Amino acid sequence: MKLKKSVWIPTVLCAAVAGTSSYVTFSDDSPVFRSYFINEYAVATADAHEELLEKDAVLTSTAVQTVTANATEIDEILVGRGSSVTAGEELLTLRTDAAEREYERLEIQAEAFEDELSALQSIANSIGSTGAATPKGDLTLSEIGDEISVDLALEVVLSESPTEAAAIIDQRMIEVQRELDVVESYLAMADGEAALISPIDGTITDIKNEAGFVTIELYADEQQYVTFVSDSEWQRLAEGQAATIKANLEDEELEDEVTGMVVTKHKVPASDSPEYKQIQKLDAYKDRTLYEVAIQTDSMLEPLPFGSFAEANIVLNEELFAYKLPLSWVAPPPASTGDPLENAVDETIDAAEETDAVTSDETVDIMLDDATTEDATFYGDENVYTLGYDGRVRLNPIDVSFTTGDSAVTPTDLVEGTVLLNATERSIYAETFLTMPTRKLDLYELKQLTWEDYVKYLLF
Q: For the full predicted model, state whether its pTM sits above 0.85.
A: no
**Cβ 299 vs Cβ 332: under 8 Å:** no
Of residues 279, 262, 261, 265, the one with CA closest to residue 235: 265
Which residues make Cβ contacts (< 8 Å) with residue 415, sequence separation at least 6?
Answer: 44
Q: What is the block-wise mean pLDDT of the chain (460 residues), using blocks of 10 residues? A: 54 56 49 58 88 93 85 86 89 73 75 82 67 50 49 51 71 79 67 72 91 90 92 93 89 82 91 89 90 91 85 93 92 68 49 43 41 61 88 90 90 87 87 63 64 60
Cα separation, 345 vs 371, whole angstroms:
8
For the chain, what is the largest distance between any 2 Cα atoms, rounded to a whole number of angstroms? 136
CA distance to 61, 130, 250, 422, per residue, from 58 (Å):
10, 50, 17, 42
Would you give the DSSP letter of residue 382?
S
Nearest CA to 56 out of 219, 227, 207 is that of 227
Pairwise CA distance, residues 269 & 231, whole Å: 9
Name the β-bridge partners of 37.
Answer: 433
Note the pLDDT of residue 2: 54
Residue 363 has a pLDDT of 39
Contact 46, 416 (CB under 8 A): yes
Distance of CA 324 to the CA centre of its chain: 17
Beta strands in 63-197 (DSSP E): 64-70, 74-77, 84-85, 90-94, 132-144, 147-159, 195-197
Is 123 in contact with 240 (CB distance < 8 Å)?
no
* β-strands 202-210, 147-159 pairing: unpaired
Query: What's the pLDDT score for residue 362?
Result: 40
CB environment 372-391: b (16+ within 10 A), e (fewer): eebeeeebeebbbbbbbeee
Q: What share of the chain is helix, strand, coil (3-state, %, to 5)?
A: 30, 35, 30
Q: Distance from CA of residue 195 to its chain's centroid? A: 48
CA 369 vs CA 31, 149, 366: distances in Å? 21, 89, 5
- Supply the pLDDT for residue 254: 76
- What sign has the CA pseudo-torsion 230, 236, 237, 243? negative
Strands 195-197 and 90-94: antiparallel
As to burial, measured by CB atoms within 10 angstroms (0-12 exposed, 13-18 middle, 19+ buried), residue 241 is buried
Kindly write down the DSSP assignment for every residue of 159-193, as one continuous string. ES-HHHHHHHHHHHHHHHHHHHHHHHHHHHHHTT-
- At residue 57, what is the residue type? A
Q: CA-CA distance, 116 to 185, in Å (whole number)?
A: 18
Other beta carbons within 10 Å of 121: 12
Of residues 404, 379, 386, 413, the one with CA closest to residue 326? 404
Residue type, 243: A
pLDDT attached to residue 68 = 86
**Contact in structure between 276 and 228 (CB atoms under 8 Å):** yes
Q: Are strands 64-70 and 47-61 parallel, antiparallel or unpaired?
A: unpaired
Given its phi and psi angles, is residue 205 left (phi above 0), alpha (psi -120 to 50 degrees) or beta? alpha
DSSP 131: B
pLDDT of residue 436: 54
**With the C-alpha atoms ordered 369, 375, 377, 379, is the resulting torsion angle positive or negative?**
positive
C-alpha–C-alpha distance, residues 59 and 66, integer Å: 20
Bridge-based pairing state of the strands 257-269 and 393-397: unpaired
Instruction: Spell out the domains of the chain, with CATH numbers in brackets.
Output: 32-49+321-459 (2.40.420.20), 51-61+221-320 (2.40.30.170), 71-218 (no CATH)
Say what the pLDDT of residue 33 is.
46
List, as one string, the DSSP characters of 263-296. Answer: EEEEEEEP-S-HHHHHHTTSGGGTTS--EEEEEE
